[in-house]
A and B are shown apart, each in its own frame.
Chain A
Amino acid sequence: GENVEQHPSTLSVQEGDSAVIKCTYSDSASNYFPWYKQELGKGPQLIIDIRSNVGEKKDQRIAVTLNKTAKHFSLHITETQPEDSAVYFCAANNYGQNFVFGPGTRLSVLP
């Protein structure tokens, strides 16, 4: 079955700097890769996703890149702000299969 690894587990950046979180997956058939942001005590919220027919997707300060050959995808946050502080989860799945989530990255943006 699918296995998703995520690094780093914690990340601290200065406000205004960029943050990068990386995930690797094991099942080459996976074709949908969402990223979720979870604030303390709340449910995760989708912030960006990418499908296997696309190499990069951007939404304002957030971007995701996908390398199918290497089976890894990354979340890039530019010009970080204190409100970006949260736990971020990546996930991978294929049609008809359930999501497999990474263990999460706790991002702290220091003022």
Chain B
Amino acid sequence: DGGITQSPKYLFRKEGQNVTLSCEQNLNHDAMYWYRQDPGQGLRLIYYSQIVNDFQKGDIAEGYSVSREKKESFPLTVTSAQKNPTAFYLCASSTGTGGYEQYFGPGTRLTVT
């Protein structure tokens, strides 16, 4: 089956620790995205990548970092600099940027205490 996988589904961390969220896709998509979703709110773009070894900041990149070493993988690291890291994180991919359907993964719920 083709699709996007995110792991783990639930993640718990202590404040001050960095944590990395996994995102893998086998759709052969060039573009990948990370969104943050807070309760009752829409999706806010953290980072996106249009091609391997390249990525751009989204609207709320502070306190996050990414890498894109392989086409299939786009991991997100939530650093200790992120002041409110508890949220639902969604990864997505698309054929290209703009005008193309984005396919979403199942999400990772991160809780930091």
Point out the residue from A32, A45, A89 that lies within 8 Å of B99, measured CB to CB. A32
Contact (Cβ within 8 A) A94 B105? no
Task: Give A49 Cβ to nearest chain B Cβ, in Å.
Answer: 7
Contact (Cβ within 8 A) B107 A93? no
A51 partner residues in chain B, CB cutoff 8 A: 99
Task: Give B74 Cβ to nearest chain A Cβ, in Å.
Answer: 15
In the complex, A32 Cα to B107 Cα: how many Å? 24
In the complex, A43 Cα to B6 Cα: how many Å? 10
A-B contact count (CB 8 A): 58
B58 partner residues in chain A, CB cutoff 8 A: 98
Contact (Cβ within 8 A) B43 A43? no
How many interface residues does chain A have, given as a range? 20 to 34
Task: Give A45 Cβ to nearest chain B Cβ, in Å.
Answer: 7
What 1/0 mask marks residues of chain A from 90 to 102 whose CB sits below 8 Å from any chain B CB? 0001111111011
In the complex, A45 Cα to B101 Cα: how many Å? 10
Contact (Cβ within 8 A) B41 A104? yes
B75 lies within 8 A of chain A by Cβ: no
B106 lies within 8 A of chain A by Cβ: yes
Contact (Cβ within 8 A) A98 B101? no
- Residues A96 and B104 in contact in the complex (CB < 8 Å), given A102-B42, A104-B42: no
Chain B interface residues toward A at CB < 8 A: 4, 6, 33, 40-43, 45, 48, 58, 90, 92, 97-107, 109
Chain A interface residues toward B at CB < 8 A: 31-32, 34, 36, 41-46, 49, 51, 89, 93-99, 101-104
